[in-house]
């Protein structure tokens, strides 16, 4: 996914100012596509220059007043083109997995505590997603748009469920490992 397409999606859902967009990213889109406030404002300028969005006319022009944006037909067409295009999945990159691989050669000092911390963070995120699901997708709310939005949320729920279960497994494995705390326990001397 690209940030311009995320912004076009958000603006088609509801015309918004840059500030409103950043808040919406913080509350929803940011769960699966994060962006800083600066990145969002920069992209708004680019999208406007490309003729994909426009600032809505203000009732009273005033300096410093926030501009609200809407998607133009060219922006809708670009989003439809991008949505229908084929894309290959991206390889998963996670520093924790690389750290575990490195621990096999340099020792596991401190890693179990960080695995427990990651487990707690994923459990919190899972709880938050489940709260959103209960609040935003009650039984009977099954229009096409709702079903697709719920599908995105389900991906988050399933990913967090995977991570909590995998971390439980990893912590169980750590409990069975001999002490491999660091280079000294591996027969390696530090210089």
Give the pLDDT confidence of 31-55 residue by residue, as tens digits. Answer: 878 888 899 999 999 999 999 999 9
pLDDT for res 190: 44
CA distance 17 to 23: 10
Contact 11, 41 (CB under 8 A): no
CA distance 86 to 98: 29
Structure tokens at 40: 């969002």
Q: What is the DSSP letter of 30?
A: G
Q: Where are the domains of the chain?
A: 3-84, 95-186
CA distance 137 to 90: 29
Give the pLDDT confidence of 74-115 residue by residue, as tens digits. Answer: 999 999 999 999 999 888 889 999 999 999 999 999 899 999
Q: Which CATH code fits 3-84?
A: 1.10.10.10
CA distance 100 to 190: 21
Structure tokens at 62: 């005033």
CA distance 18 to 65: 11
User: What is the radius of gyration, based on Cα positions, of the chain?
Assistant: 23
Q: Which residue has the higher pLDDT, 112 or 64?
A: 112
Inform me whether the pLDDT recorded for 185 exceeds 80. Answer: no
pLDDT-derived band at 28, boundaries 50, 70, 90: confident
CA distance 48 to 80: 18
Give the pLDDT confidence of 68-80 residue by residue, as tens digits. Answer: 999 999 999 999 9
Q: How many residues does the chain have?
A: 191
Quick one: which of 174, 167, 155 has its CA closest to 122? 167
């Amino acid at each position: 996914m690209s940030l311009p397409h995320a912004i076009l999606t958000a603006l088609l859902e509801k015309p918004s100012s840059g500030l409103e967009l950043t808040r919406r990213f913080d509350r929803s889109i940011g769960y699966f596509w994060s962006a800083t406030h600066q990145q969002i404002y920069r992209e708004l300028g680019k999208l406007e220059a490309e003729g994909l969005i426009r600032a809505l006319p203000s009732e009273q022009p005033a300096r410093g007043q926030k501009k609200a944006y809407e998607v133009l037909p060219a922006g809708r067409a670009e989003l439809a083109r991008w949505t229908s295009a084929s894309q290959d999945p991206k390889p998963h990159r996670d520093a924790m997995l690389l750290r575990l691989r490195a621990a096999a050669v340099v020792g596991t000092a401190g890693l179990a505590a960080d695995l427990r911390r990651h487990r707690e963070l994923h459990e919190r995120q899972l709880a938050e997603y489940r709260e959103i699901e209960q609040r935003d997708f009650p039984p009977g709310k099954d229009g096409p748009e709702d079903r697709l939005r719920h599908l995105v949320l389900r991906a988050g729920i399933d990913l967090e469920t995977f991570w909590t279960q995998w971390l439980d497994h990893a912590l169980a494995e750590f409990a069975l490992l001999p002490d491999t705390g660091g280079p000294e326990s591996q027969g390696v001397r530090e210089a």
